Amino acid sequence: MIIRRLASSLQLISQPRHADLAATILRHWDADHFPESPRKASILHAIEQHDNGWAEVDEALVVDPATGQLLDFVELPDALKRDTSWRGIERLASDPYAAALVAQHRLHVYRRYAEHPDWRDLFANLTTARESFLRASGAGSLDELLRDYKLLRAGDLASLAFCAGWTEVDSDGCGYALRLEETSLSFAPDPFDGRTIEIEIEAREIVPRPFADAAEARRAVESAPFVTLRGVVRGAAE
């Protein structure tokens, strides 16, 4: 769950919804090799589904037993992060190139844990899965996969910035710096050929408070109203 923490409310956005927004943004991408890529459909599929392994965790919710506060995806225990990583890749087996891209995504975003004893098995399995799915796809080399992955990461970072309210985001290997000013998200350099893209996403809005357990939190979230967050995405001004 992505939690935007405001002064008087929490806005909760599920990871699958965030991934949908990432794909929406990339459908307007007019840069790099993407418009003419023969792998475009699988790349978009990977972007749209890259966080589907989080669906069960988002539905269940996780509460810090010490404080009673809802935890967002950054704050969750490492064991849950590992479980969601593998589950999401398995669900893409019917589109092996998309599965290979999502395996690369987990290797990238969790790379700081690569040598940690608790993570070594997952990294070995992710690397094997990436290579196996890439071979099964017949779609290209590892270098091409890594180049295509930059598109997934760009969409992921853009959607995260908008959903979480991150004002500035480093390129983190995708080749684009992002900046959020109120509801306007800008990319530098411009991948949209001068166009402005309207975006929106739904969030549940609740009053911040401690919960006795996840069941109580679920009841509060399920009865909370939806709010629609709207904005635009564009290239940064020269």
Q: Where along the chain do its domains lie?
A: 2-57+66-235
Six-digit token pair at 32? Answer: 């790099």
Can you spell out the DSSP letters for 122-168? HHHHHHHHHHHHHHHHT---HHHHHHHHHHHHHHHHHHHHHHHT-SE
What's the pLDDT score for residue 168? 87
Six-digit token pair at 9? Answer: 């409310």
Where do we find the tokens 């087996």? 93
CA 111 to chain centre: 16
Under 8 Å between Cβ of 3 and 41: no
Strand ranges of the sheet holding 10-13, from the earlier edge strand across to the other edge:
2-5, 10-13, 197-206, 226-235, 184-188, 177-181, 168-169
Distance CA(152)–CA(216), nearest Å, equals 35
What's the pLDDT score for residue 238? 58
Under 8 Å between Cβ of 183 and 231: yes
Distance CA(16)–CA(56), nearest Å, equals 10
* pTM score of the predicted model: 0.95
Q: What is the residue-level pLDDT of the chain in tens, covering all 238 positions? A: 999 999 999 999 999 999 999 999 999 999 988 999 999 999 999 999 999 999 999 999 999 999 999 999 999 999 999 999 888 899 999 999 999 999 999 999 999 999 999 999 999 999 999 999 999 999 989 999 999 999 999 999 999 999 999 998 988 989 999 999 999 999 999 999 999 999 999 999 999 999 999 999 999 999 999 999 999 999 997 5
What's the pLDDT score for residue 71? 97
